[in-house]
Amino acid sequence: MASATESSSKQLQRLYDALAGEGVMSDTLYLGIDWGTHSSKWVWARGARAEFKILRSEVRLDNDHLLLSADAPPSGSVFMGGLKKQLINNPSTPFWGGLQRGMRLSLGELFAFSLWRLMSEAYAAAPRVASKQPDLLEIRFSLPNWVDIDSGAVGRATYEQAARVACNIFVADRTSWVQEQQPRRLVWQKRVSRALDELGISDDLPIDHHPQGFRTLLKQECKINDNTRFRFVAESSAAGLTGLLRSDQEDARGVLKILVVDVGAGSTDIGYLLKTKQALCQLPPANTCQIAGENLSRRILDIYRSRGRQISFDEAELIKTTGSETGWRKHPTVKDWINAIAEHVREYVSVVTDKRWLPYQPGLFVFVTGGSGVVPGLDKALLDATIDGLRSQKISAATVRGTKGLTIALRGPLAAR
Amino acid sequence: LSDRSRTSDDPRRLAIPWIVAFDTLWLHAPSDADPRVPAQFWRALSSAIGTAAVSVKADPRSAEFFSRRREALISAASAALSEGRIDTLRSLEDMLVGEAEWKDVTEHLRALSGSAGSETPETSLAWLSGQIRDRSHRRELSAADESQAARIDYVAAALMAAWDAMSDGPRGAEAYRAVQIMAESLFDLHMLGSAGDTTTYDELQHEVTRSAPSARPVKVKIVRPGVRWSDGIRNRIVIKATAEAV
């Protein structure tokens, strides 16, 4: 729980920065939904105020009532976790049609429930501190790096469908969650069925397999009604926006190039962001690297247990993220972990395609973030790997020399180093 | 204006005359007119013209409007600060979030509070202090659920470090006791279990270190306590207790 909270707080900070990057207006209520493998988060933002909450991603069915909870499902309860993996691993399985064993709901109905539940609670939480009703409701869903793989295309398309269905149900009655926080399974099925009919969504709709599908989805803005809209933000770019927003490193032309390395709990995501005076561009990110924060926490756990201290995994996570102890940092297994991520960075940078800006000055900034981005030595190794990748692209020596780490004044957990 | 701007190649061409006209009207407004009106006007206009707002703001023809808008804002904020009207200050803050002018306004208020000294109400000073302290991080998130605040992790880590130090002697035991009291009193954090105790296994509270005879032990012996957060109603496990199957 603690580990999920720590890394998720940072993900939320980035999601919020993504919202703030668009200019958070006081007459607009922003709802950010980050639906993850293990934990899911909502954030609402209005004017200068914002609040978040983290829930477990497992959808539970307690006495035929559907719910998400901040706590792990108790033993013996009926629940379904790993929905994202289900979708990626079974792209040919009907999304709205087939019922999942035990839950007796389709994957689509479970997806839509998760999204509806998260946005409804965020919406309900917002007015507690903001007096005036917002004129406009902007919803943002974080989009995982489902990029090149074929199952990614199915994931993107069905995720978008689930978001449309969830928004449709949400706008029909924004307060329905407050009135009935754990709807009955059959009630939820009926709501989804009605939304599918209204929206014309079914498993028969064609899937966009185009390689540019990821970019296309990020550019789309979906209007639900006159005062409610939603769109997707790429997880890797949301991470990089923290760097863009808090940096004053642009050159005289306002150009800033950032390589974002987001070392999250279950995966390390790498993306390339470019900001000019005219536009903010995000290139397709690297395929996800499975060596990430949880893997390092396991290694720290092993180090301490081999020394006779029977710490738990939760404590290993806190030792890593809060910087409360340093005895593990120089262990060879930590070096191996750093090298594995550095190799992934080198591979990405050696193939990233930006012929207009990357070869020329200013240099590239390397921004390391995420729950495990605080590991000493990681930023230096990733900078070296980036430089190696640029050299393999035959980028000019002057531009390579200008490549450096992006240091941003931080405090709190982000500064735990 | 919104519809017309969207069809125009240059929204700035339409917006500038509006600004100049408004500025003229504002110059002749009654002295008791709400000083927030120019800010509200710009907010509506910039929302309608989108990204063109940046070039409109930089246009020399709109300079006088922005200068007068700034004066009006400072005047409104100063009056609210000296009268302790926090709601007004918050509404100004909401209106100007993300704009450079807000920094100007708070700098002015800081100077004002320094010169006005004890005349400024305590509530105003507390609000202003928060603005100055958090200026660069005002957009940080707060946890809707206290148990998910990042500070909980830091205190829990400190509590476990203090628990380790307890075996170092009387001073270590005293230090642990002090940290434990602080964690309980200020952060609702409590130790979970005591080393050596035998208890019924609960997968949400215990992490078993050694392979159990069966996949799910019935009883476990606590090897190292964990940390739990509780506000009296809700309970969250921050760190699971480490245990051995018995």
Task: Provide φ and ψ at A257, rounded to 5°.
Answer: -115, 125
More confident residue, B97 or A41: A41
* Cβ–Cβ gap A319/B138 under 8 Å: no
A46 forms bridges with which residues in the sheet?
A: A49
pLDDT for the residue A195: 96
Chain B residues whose CB is inside 8 A of the A413 CB are 150, 153-154
B161 forms bridges with which residues in the sheet?
A: none
* Separation between Cα atoms, residue A164 and residue A2, nearest integer Å: 32
Chain A residues whose CB is inside 8 A of the B93 CB are 47-48
Looking at residues B48-62, what average pLDDT do you find?
79
Greatest Cα pair distance, chain B, in angstroms, is 87
Does the pLDDT at position A387 exceed 90?
yes
Nearest CB neighbour to B141, from listed A1, A52, A322: A52
Chain B residues whose CB is inside 8 A of the A322 CB are 153-154, 157
pLDDT for the residue A63: 92
Task: Provide φ and ψ at A318, rounded to 5°.
Answer: -70, -35
Chain B residues whose CB is inside 8 A of the A51 CB are 141-144
* Cβ–Cβ gap A318/B157 under 8 Å: yes
- Asked if A228 contacts A234 with a C-beta cutoff of 8 angstroms, the reply is no
Length of chain B measured in residues = 246
* Separation between Cα atoms, residue A72 and residue B240, nearest integer Å: 13
CB environment B120-146: b (16+ within 10 A), e (fewer): beeebeebbeebeeeeeebbbbebbbe
In the block, tokens 């033993």 appear at: A75
**% of residues, chain A, pLDDT over 90:** 34
pLDDT for the residue A5: 43
Query: Which positions ≥6 away from B64 have C-beta within 8 Å?
Result: B23
- Place A410 in a pLDDT band, splitting at 50, 70 and 90: very low
Tokens of B92: 């100004």
A259 forms bridges with which residues in the sheet?
A: A272, A366
The tens digit of pLDDT for each residue in B107-165 reads 889 888 877 656 788 888 888 887 776 554 445 568 888 888 888 999 999 999 999 99
Looking at residues B204-214, what average pLDDT do you find?
76
Tokens of A411: 């405090």
Radius of gyration of the CA atoms of chain A, in A: 22
Looking at residues A103-118, what average pLDDT do you find?
95
pLDDT for the residue A380: 92
Tokens of B63: 């300079």
Task: Determine the Cα angle at A165 with ends A160 and A168, to 5°.
Answer: 125
pLDDT for the residue A4: 39
Mean pLDDT of chain A: 81
pLDDT for the residue B227: 97
Strand pairing report for B235-239 and B226-230:
antiparallel
Partner B contacted by A291 (CB < 8 A): no
Lowest mean pLDDT among A2-6, A129-133, B2-6, B213-217: A2-6
The tens digit of pLDDT for each residue in A218-241 reads 777 888 888 888 888 776 656 556
pLDDT for the residue A6: 42
Give the residue on A whose Cα is nearest the Cα of B148: A5
Task: Determine the Cα angle at B185 with ends B184 and B186, to 5°.
Answer: 100
Sign of CA dihedral A54, A56, A57, A60: negative
pLDDT for the residue A236: 62
Q: Give the best residue of B136, B239, B240 to mutate against chain A (max A CB count within 10 A).
A: B239
Tokens of A319: 């030792």
Partner B contacted by A127 (CB < 8 A): no
* Separation between Cα atoms, residue A82 and residue A195, nearest integer Å: 24
The tens digit of pLDDT for each residue in A306-328 reads 999 999 999 999 999 888 888 89
The tens digit of pLDDT for each residue in A187-219 reads 999 999 999 999 999 999 888 777 667 667 777
Looking at residues B212-223, what average pLDDT do you find?
80
Does the pLDDT at position A409 exceed 50?
no
pLDDT for the residue A64: 94
Nearest CB neighbour to A318, from listed B97, B237, B239: B239
Partner B contacted by A321 (CB < 8 A): yes
Tokens of B46: 């910039």
Looking at residues A67-85, what average pLDDT do you find?
86
Secondary structure of residue B114 in the 3-state scheme:
helix
Where is A214: in which H helix or E strand?
Answer: helix A213-219
For residue A51, count other CB atoms closer than 10 A to its CB. 21
Residue B47 burial by CB count (10 A; 0-12/13-18/19+): exposed, middle or buried? Answer: middle
Looking at residues A43-64, what average pLDDT do you find?
85
* Separation between Cα atoms, residue A322 and residue B209, nearest integer Å: 23
pLDDT for the residue A211: 63
Say what the pTM is. Answer: 0.70
* Cβ–Cβ gap A74/B204 under 8 Å: yes
Looking at residues A174-195, what average pLDDT do you find?
93
Secondary structure of residue B135 in the 3-state scheme:
helix
- Asked if A119 contacts A41 with a C-beta cutoff of 8 angstroms, the reply is no
Radius of gyration of the CA atoms of chain B, in A: 29
Residue A332 burial by CB count (10 A; 0-12/13-18/19+): exposed, middle or buried? Answer: exposed
* Cβ–Cβ gap B242/A310 under 8 Å: yes
Strand pairing report for A65-67 and A59-62:
antiparallel
Secondary structure of residue A178 in the 3-state scheme:
helix
Sheet with A65-67, edge to edge strand ranges? A65-67, A59-62, A78-80
* Alpha-carbon gap: A231 to the closest alpha carbon of chain B (Å): 18
Looking at residues A372-397, what average pLDDT do you find?
89
* Separation between Cα atoms, residue B16 and residue A230, nearest integer Å: 31
Query: Which positions ≥6 away from B201 have C-beta within 8 Å?
Result: B208, B216, B217, B218, B219, B220, B243, B245
Lowest mean pLDDT among A17-31, A103-117, A362-376, A380-394: A17-31
Chain A residues whose CB is inside 8 A of the B157 CB are 315, 318-319, 322, 324
Task: Provide φ and ψ at A164, rounded to 5°.
Answer: -65, -45
* Alpha-carbon gap: A2 to the closest alpha carbon of chain B (Å): 5
Nearest Cα residue to A316 out of B229, B6, B175, B224: B224
Secondary structure of residue A164 in the 3-state scheme:
helix
- Place B197 in a pLDDT band, splitting at 50, 70 and 90: very high
Chain B residues whose CB is inside 8 A of the A321 CB are 153
- Place B3 in a pLDDT band, splitting at 50, 70 and 90: very low
B22-30 long-range contacts (CB < 8 A, ≥24 apart) are B22/B65, B23/B64, B23/B65, B23/B68, B26/B65, B26/B68, B26/B72, B27/B68
- Place A389 in a pLDDT band, splitting at 50, 70 and 90: very high
